[in-house]
Amino acid sequence: MSGDLVLLPLGGVGEIGMNLYLYGFGRGARRQWIMVDCGVMFGDETTPGVELILPDISFIEQRKDDLLAIVITHAHEDHIGAVPWLAARLGAPVYATRFAAILLRHKLEELALDDVVEVRRAVPGEVIELGPFAVEYVPVTHSLPEPNALAITTAAGVVVHSGDFKVDETPTIPPSFSFHRLREIGDAGVEALICDSTNATRAGRTPSERVVAETLKRLIAAAPGRVAVTTFASHVARIKAVAEAARAAGREVVVAGWSMRRIIAAASECGLLDGSLRFLDEDAFGYLEPDKVALLCTGSQGEPRAALARIAADTHPRIALERGDTVIFSSFTIPGNEKAVISIINRLAMRGVEVITTAREAGVHASGHPMQEDLAVLYDLLRPARLIPMHGEPWHMMQQATFARQHGIAEVATIHDGRMLRIAPGPAEVVGEAPSGHWHVDGHLIVAGEGGPVKRRRKLSFVGLVALAVTLDGKGRVRAPLRIALEGVPELTADGQPMEEVLLDSADDALDGLSGAHRRDDDLVAERLRRAVRFAAKEHWGKRPVVRVLVQRL
> What residues line the site for Zn ion (CB under 5 A)?
76, 78, 164
Q: Which is nearer to Zn ion, 356 or 390 (CB)?
A: 390
- Three-class secondary structure of residue 435 per DSSP: coil
**CA gap 399, 387 in Å, rounded:** 13
Q: Which is nearer to Zn ion, 75 or 537 (CB)?
A: 75
Pairing, β 192-196 against β 227-230: unpaired
Neighbours of 233 (CB within 10 A): 25
Q: ∠ CA(505), CA(507), CA(511), 5° rounding?
A: 115
**CA gap 262, 492 in Å, rounded:** 52
As measured in angstroms, the least distance from the Cβ of 238 to Zn ion is 14
Q: Which is nearer to Zn ion, 76 or 166 (CB)?
A: 76
Contacts of 325 (CB under 8 A, 6+ apart): 223, 225, 226, 227, 228, 290, 353, 354
As measured in angstroms, the least distance from the Cβ of 334 to Zn ion is 11
As measured in angstroms, the least distance from the Cβ of 396 to Zn ion is 12
Neighbours of 275 (CB within 10 A): 7
Q: Is 10 left (phi over 0), alpha (psi -120 to 50) or beta?
A: alpha
Pairing, β 546-553 against β 465-472: parallel
Q: Which is nearer to Zn ion, 76 or 438 (CB)?
A: 76
Contacts of 85 (CB under 8 A, 6+ apart): 40, 52, 54, 441, 446
Q: Which residues pair with 15 in a beta bridge?
A: 392
As measured in angstroms, the least distance from the Cβ of 146 to Zn ion is 11
As measured in angstroms, the least distance from the Cβ of 72 to Zn ion is 11
As measured in angstroms, the least distance from the Cβ of 135 to Zn ion is 19
Q: Which is nearer to Zn ion, 193 or 533 (CB)?
A: 193
As measured in angstroms, the least distance from the Cβ of 147 to Zn ion is 7
Q: Which is nearer to Zn ion, 396 or 422 (CB)?
A: 396
Q: Which is nearer to Zn ion, 391 or 530 (CB)?
A: 391
As measured in angstroms, the least distance from the Cβ of 107 to Zn ion is 16
Q: Read out DSSP for 169-234?
A: SS-SSS----HHHHHHHHHH--SEEEEE-TTTTS-S-PPPHHHHHHHHHHHHHH-SS-EEEE--TT
As measured in angstroms, the least distance from the Cβ of 17 to Zn ion is 8
**CA gap 234, 260 in Å, rounded:** 7
Q: How large is the C-alpha radius of gyration of the chain?
A: 28
Q: How far is CA 504 from the centre of its chain?
A: 45
Q: Which is nearer to Zn ion, 76 or 386 (CB)?
A: 76
Q: Which is nearer to Zn ion, 232 or 541 (CB)?
A: 232
